[in-house]
Structure 1
């Protein structure tokens, strides 16, 4: 199945809009942990929080799923892959990893995804990547190591690391699958339809893992402590569903189409920075000097990778996807 990438708007304006959407998506995704942590501390199981997040978002997007009801017949593989990888896979693997290894280590391993995307482009598609893009990824990953203070917890568990790597691979699927059909004209699958059905597939898959029939629903009727301040649990859940999931996925998939999978992947590294800053402000989890320095390095790396993306049709090595590209059906099969 051909998969192509272009900027959806000409010139720097399209890239600027795409970068803004990618940053907005990172901000929305980054706020999920700040809202979820109080719910978990109030007594909800982490997998139950994930299930509530995905299922709630799927219900919100249900009218769009009905509007694009022909999509499952046209792109069943895309919808299954997006739901299983980009929705259920990332979150299930990440939360499972957290039960075995430190949060910072799991997050760092998961956000190796941008480097894996470049590896996909270089070794699977056999297309060159610019040195600047590679340097940007290295800086982003190195800065992220400082942000999460990976040296603070090195009690690695082999299965935990494998699960975190699984989350990273699923995140690669998110960026690659989000780019499907961007140059197919009228035949391109509508991104909102892809998200709607992806959330439905993800909710169904997570139901088998999270066992929501054991969920303590009474927690949602009360309050959850946020840095000592009681906040309505239902309000926190609404934030997770509407902002950290629906808005995050919508802006993220549109950003991928305006930029490219690898550029959007690097910018998405900012999610960890944003999550850390929000935890500092809202949860009282203070940042250290190395974390502040690491955040600056992540920003620099993301900017370098984004600014080196070639224009559409340019015959130069890939930094951000730029020219039209085609993946084999085997390579992109969910």
Structure 2
């Protein structure tokens, strides 16, 4: 084969950046698409179940292809399904039923700071000054977003639910750290983990959400989006096929072409996309101070992510994913020995 037929590193990187951007755009659209369904009468848990169960069905062929994961990594798959899928998404959709989409997603971006807290105070491992700076920036920016000087400008329960989504991400990061310790063999394929995580999450949510009690007239009818009547099934299709399946797959492929750090930076656009879409489609306006605070949160999350001890001290930041995600993403990174390790972050939305 001639040299001209081989793809250049630059073209692979460009494709990776494009896929990472597509993933961030897709994940960012889940909240603005889900909120009209919730406003129309669907319970947040039922919207979550529809999203997870639908995506699990679409990814069944991938689950079958990686069926060996059930034997080798049952705890990792169950943890991903319970925390990164069911926990994160249920808390996120419940949060956006009470507070603006952008605020809920920005609260979730405290996850990198919480991971560093776990590393420092639970694992008792030192963290550097950059890590502390990232935490301070994230917390300070969040104080501007929630308008803490006015006694919290949003529903406290909604803020706690968004914080619960961030804590679910941290719980999965801890589980992923223990499940992929050095010497444990080849890391599981991220797409396989995602497929089985969605299956486990669908099973858990079926028990919790009891979809047989759902008001099926809502998904069969029409809802209001940007002042117009649209079929609810269109929004559901978007949430399942674009904001979940396509978002996960493009996120995983992008990280295989980029470093996790670069992909993590692009993933921060998820919060920007969600905030802008909520502003345009749902009329959820944020003040200039809140927009500034949101930018500071993202900068702090990025700094905290880069400062997280590697490779076995903690997993990467939220939203990447699946970063992470969240509603994050599958992320494979190279360790010192060159072995691929799993660090599948939960999607932030």
Alignment of 1:49-60 (within 5 A): 49-60=47-58
Which SS does the other structure have where 2:29 is aligned? helix
Cα distance change of structure 1 residues 82 and 92 upon mapping to structure 2, 3 Å threshold: same
- Structure with bigger RCO (C-alpha 8 Å, 6+ apart): 1
Q: Which structure 2 residue ranges, 5 or more long, are not aligned?
A: 1-8, 318-332, 338-349
Distance 1:108 1:296, change over 3 A: closer
**Matching residue of 1:63:** 61
Map residues 146-165 of structure 1 onto 2, 5 A cutoff: 146-149=144-147, 151=150, 152-153=152-153, 156=156, 164-165=162-163
Length, aligned pairs only: 305
1:274 aligns with 2:273: yes
When residues 144 and 273 of structure 1 are mapped into structure 2, their CA distance, relative to the original with a 3 A threshold, is farther
The change in CA–CA distance for 1:251 and 1:169 in structure 2 (over 3 A counts) is farther
Q: Which residue of 1 aligns with 2:232?
A: 233
Q: Which residue in the other structure is 2:35 paired with?
A: 37
> 1:109 touches 1:164 (CA, 8 Å); kept in 2?
yes
Change (3 A) 1:174 1:24: farther
Q: Is residue 219 from structure 1 mapped to residue 218 from structure 2 by the alignment?
A: yes
Partner of 1:200: 199
Question: Which residue is equivalent to 1:168?
Answer: 166
Cα drift, residue 149 of structure 1:
4.3
Residue 5 of structure 1: aligned partner = none
Within the candidate set 74, 77, 81, 2:75 is matched to 77
Q: Partners in 2 of 1:117 and 1:13 — Cα distance?
A: 34
Q: Give distance in 2, aligned partners of 1:32 and 1:234.
A: 14
8 Å CA contact retained: 1:47, 1:210: yes
Counterpart in 2 of 1:330? none
CA shift for structure 1 position 215 = 1.7
**Range moving further from structure 2, 33-42 or 180-189:** 180-189
Asked if 2 retains the 8 angstrom alpha-carbon contact of 1:191 and 1:254, the reply is no
Residue 140 (str. 1) matches residue 138 (str. 2):
yes
Under a length normalisation based on structure 1, what TM-score does the superposition of the two structures give?
Answer: 0.73
**1:282 CA displacement:** 2.1
Q: Residue by residue, what CA displacement relative to the aligned partner does 1:18-61 show, whole Å, maximum 9, x if unpaired?
A: 88766654433321110011112223222111110000010111
- 1:191 is the counterpart of 2:190: yes
Gapped runs of 5+ residues in structure 1?
A: 1-10, 313-317, 326-334
